[in-house]
A and B are shown apart, each in its own frame.
Chain A
Amino acid sequence: MTVSDIPIVGDLLESGAEDRVFDSLLLAGPVLILVIAFLGRSTVTVGLAAAYVLFFVAYVLYLGVRR
């Protein structure tokens, strides 16, 4: 069984920009929010959240430059 076989998740992955990086960000988002909910604000969680946002922006720019 792969990730795309999971009911709602599979539909979501099929609907997007057909880019595995964005799909991964989409799946990692709620996981990261759950981690923050359990662990609270710390250097590690702030770093992870900041990395998520920065990676998203950087990847969009990277795609733009590459094109």
Chain B
Amino acid sequence: MKGAARTIGRDLGRIFQALAGLLFVSILVPLIWGEYYAIPALVVAGLVPFAVGYILTSRFRDAARPGKLHGMIIAALGWFCVAIFGSLPFLLIAWTVELAPPILGEPSQTSTLAAFTNPINAVFESMSGFTGTGLTMTDNEEVLPRTLQWWRSFIEWIGGVGVIVLTTAILARPGSGSLTLYESEARSERIHPSIVSTVQTIWWIFILFTFVSILLLWVVGMPLWGAINHGMTGLATGGFSITDNSIATYDSVAIDFALLPIMLLGSIAFPVHYLILQGDLRNLYSDLQTRWVFIYMGIGTVLLTVLVYVSDTYDSLFTAFRYGSFQFVSAATCAGFQTATDATNVALGRWSAQAQLTVVFGMVVGGAAGSTVGGIKLIRALTLLKGIRFRIADVFYPETAVRRLKINGRRLNEQEIRQEFEEAAIIAALWFLFLGLGTFALLIMLPQGEYTLENVIFEVASAQGNVGLSAGITGPESLPTLGKVMFLFNMWIGRLEIIPVLVTLRAVFDRGGLYR
């Protein structure tokens, strides 16, 4: 285990150093916006992970390559620690403003920013950002310092692709066990034979799409700062906003519809994007997951439109389509932007139970594996459906028949079918288990009668699916501390697809002798 600790320590150190780099780069934002009081907080917030990272990487420089177990522990601990370190800008800037030292210009405090003087709120925001969830502890994002608006968008943008993917792209070299780490962060697809080249290409695609998204949003009327932030969080399917009522603030049909393709881009796997950028447009329908992204979004949009229209939530079919399409795509791509709010129309939490549960269904399934989305992922849902159909049809064939299952162009034999079906079934079962446990726990924590069952299921599914839509439960005051801790766990396991976190917890408990 000592050797394992060295390997884990070295690779965690690399992740912390990459995080420190993000914090140091972000110092440009307070410089540009004249929020000089935020600079010391960012410097300290960057120095802490840099120092810890430097110590770990130098001390364990010669550690062995990570194996599968190490990879899972590094991914789980890495994401957890990154959320902790990533909370420092929220905490330190909030306290800087709270104490208002004359030397830093005595910036004025707001109740929104003051919420981050509580460490649990700061960690919640950071975990929500890095996991691309988008649930927030802020009451009004508009009054946050630009530095924190940027930091929220930036961590969602980075988290959308992945902290380890970032570290691999910047710090890893071929042959340093990058594949193991890459796979531990819920990714498996390769664009090139080399993992380092693969992650560099993923970033290339992501950066190009980010510029296209920002400029598209600006063209349709969003102010530039909003376009930069929403372009980043929309593509990363994160969903943090810089406005009080998310996208509803703009109340613009053009902006609503411009965000649809941006969120959809984020829900398509990067290897497919690469092929499409090389002119192979057939992948839009020949790739199983991509084809189903469009089918699934189409069916969900129609269903939700019909549900909100017939339940008289909206009085015109176009309005029902506008909000229905946006909210289904936002949920199923796990972006979590909201246009259905009471400020401009009807809040999601007041939609009919059927409509809310349709949105929940979108959040649970998610988009394509290998993209930026959360949820169970389309490929697993399809594997489960095809596997079930295969098993049922099996009864109608003679025992000697040799059957194969075709998934995404691959013909699987019995053993491969069992392996793929088992993996999909385990993750889906764990997903629903934690959804059920979370719903039960939250029902106990919340005041009796204040929220309906569908509200509670909606909120837990949103946290665990890394979506960020809210039925109104999440907030600095409305969600009890225990609920915040539970949601931290839900967001963490949701981003890493549960198993690495359970493996890490087992390793920790096993090592500590808590059970055996």
List residues of A whose CB falls within 8 A of some B CB.
Answer: 11-12, 14-17, 19, 22, 25-26, 29-30, 32-33, 36-37, 46, 49-50, 52-53, 56, 60-61, 63-64, 66-67
Contacts and interface: CB of A to CB of B under 8 A. Distances in A.
Given A22-B277, A53-B219, A60-B276, A16 B201 contact: yes
A33 B417 CA distance: 49
Interface in B269-295: 274, 276-281
Contact of B207 (A19, A26, A46): A26
Interface of B: 197, 200-201, 203-205, 207-208, 210-212, 214-216, 218-219, 224, 228, 274, 276-281
Contacts of B197: 15
Contact of A63 (B208, B214, B224, B279): B279
B208 A25 contact: yes
B208 A16 contact: yes
A49 B215 contact: yes
A33 B200 contact: no
Given A15-B197, A15-B203, A17-B274, A67 B280 contact: yes
Nearest to A15: B200
B44 to A, nearest CB: 26
B211 A17 contact: no
A22 B224 CA distance: 23
Nearest 7 A-B pairs (CB), nearest first?
A: A29-B211, A63-B279, A64-B281, A15-B200, A67-B279, A16-B204, A15-B204
Nearest to A25: B208
Nearest to B276: A60
Contacts of A46: 219
Contact of B280 (A37, A49, A53, A64): A64
Contacts of B211: 25-26, 29-30, 32-33, 52
B219 A50 contact: yes
11 contacts: A15-B201, A16-B205, A16-B208, A17-B277, A19-B277, A19-B278, A25-B211, A26-B207, A29-B211, A53-B219, A61-B281
Contact of B218 (A19, A49, A61): A49
A53 B277 contact: no
Contacts of A67: 278-281
Contacts, number: 80
A65 B212 CA distance: 21
B204 A29 contact: no
A50 B207 CA distance: 18
A9 B200 CA distance: 12
B204 A33 contact: no
A65 B277 CA distance: 12
Given A33-B214, A52-B211, 17 more contacts: A12-B203, A17-B201, A17-B274, A22-B277, A26-B204, A26-B208, A29-B212, A29-B215, A33-B215, A36-B218, A36-B224, A49-B218, A49-B219, A52-B215, A53-B215, A60-B279, A67-B280
Contacts of A53: 212, 215-216, 219
Nearest to B231: A33
Given A22-B277, A67-B280, A32 B215 contact: yes
Q: How would you classify the secondary structure of chain B's contact residues: helix, strand, loop or mixed?
A: helix
Contacts of A61: 281
Contacts of A66: 279
Contacts of B280: 64, 67
A63 B281 CA distance: 9
Contact of B200 (A11, A19, A32, A63): A11
A5 B215 CA distance: 27
Contact of A33 (B201, B203, B224, B279): B224
A52 B281 CA distance: 20
A39 B152 CA distance: 26
B317 to A, nearest CB: 28
B197 to A, nearest CB: 7
Contacts of A15: 197, 200-201, 203-204
A47 B279 CA distance: 26
A60 B277 contact: yes
A63 to B, nearest CB: 3
Nearest to A57: B212
A36 B212 CA distance: 14
Contacts of B203: 12, 15
Contacts of B279: 60, 63-64, 66-67
A12 B281 contact: no
Nearest to B32: A37
Contacts of B204: 12, 15-17, 26
A29 B218 CA distance: 13
Nearest to B192: A15
Contacts of B205: 16-17
Contacts of A37: 224
B214 A17 contact: no
A12 to B, nearest CB: 6
A66 to B, nearest CB: 6
B201 to A, nearest CB: 5
A11 B203 CA distance: 11
A16 B277 CA distance: 10
